Amino acid sequence: MRKSGDWMSIWDDRILEYIVENDSGSPTRIANSDYIHISKQHVSNRLREIADNELLDSLGNGVYQINKKGEQYLLGNYNAQKNEFIHPELSEISVRTSPHDSQNQVRVVEINLRPESEKTAVEQLYKYQENIKSLLSPVLLQVTGTKADEELSEENVKNILFV
């Protein structure tokens, strides 16, 4: 579950999700999308507020891009109220998912740990599997076919990383 800040509005999660899916966003592009139903001015105000609270980076000319804190917030690993990571040991994990298909199935999950080797990546994921499962449970269960009460095996982890 995401830990929002008291400064956040109901639209902020949608704005962050739009920017993740589109790699960046501007008030005009976001307001003209079918995803968000607020004015360009309101989007602009929210983008500034989200960037002021360090979940977005301004690229200039009204264009914003998500940063590490924003990505971790969307994963449920960043508390926007307290301005801190929930599981600091997992804060270097970068996760990207492709859009859902018509049956709401995730097509691609990319987990980037920047490890020294394949063995190190597997060891890191295996070591932190409980925290990772809590953050990514729906995605991991869908990708691996693992049941919620089962542990991820080393083979499951390798399949996630090296497909």
Residue 80 falls inside a structural domain: no
Stretch 92-119: mean pLDDT? 54
Domain coverage including residue 33: 12-72
Report the CATH number that the domain containing residue 29 is assigned in CATH.
Answer: 1.10.10.10
Q: Look at residue 102 in the predicted model and tell me its pLDDT.
A: 43
pLDDT above 80 for 125: no
Q: Give yes or no: residues 98 and 147 share one domain.
A: yes
Q: Look at residue 129 in the predicted model and tell me its pLDDT.
A: 63
Q: Give yes or no: residues 130 and 92 share one domain.
A: yes
pLDDT above 90 for 91: no
Please give the tally of structural domains in the chain: 2
Query: Pseudo-torsion of CA 81, 89, 74, 15, nearest 10°?
Result: 70
Residue 115 falls inside a structural domain: yes
Residue 52 falls inside a structural domain: yes
Q: Give yes or no: residues 50 and 16 share one domain.
A: yes
Q: Give yes or no: residues 117 and 149 share one domain.
A: yes
Q: Look at residue 120 in the predicted model and tell me its pLDDT.
A: 67
**Averaged pLDDT score across all residues of the chain:** 77
Query: In whole angstroms, what is the distance from residue 64 CA to residue 53 CA?
Result: 13
Q: Give yes or no: residues 95 and 141 share one domain.
A: yes
Q: Give yes or no: residues 94 and 56 share one domain.
A: no
Query: In whole angstroms, what is the distance from residue 73 CA to residue 66 CA?
Result: 10
Stretch 96-121: mean pLDDT? 53
Residue 34 falls inside a structural domain: yes
Contacts 24+ apart (CB under 8 A), 131-135: 131/87, 131/89, 131/90, 132/90, 132/93, 134/76, 135/75, 135/76, 135/77, 135/87, 135/90
The share of the chain scoring above pLDDT 70, in percent, equals 55
CA 45, 50, 54, 57 torsion: positive or negative? negative
Of 108, 157, 110, the closest CA to residue 130 belongs to 157
Residue 26 falls inside a structural domain: yes
Run of H or E residues at 130:
helix 129-144
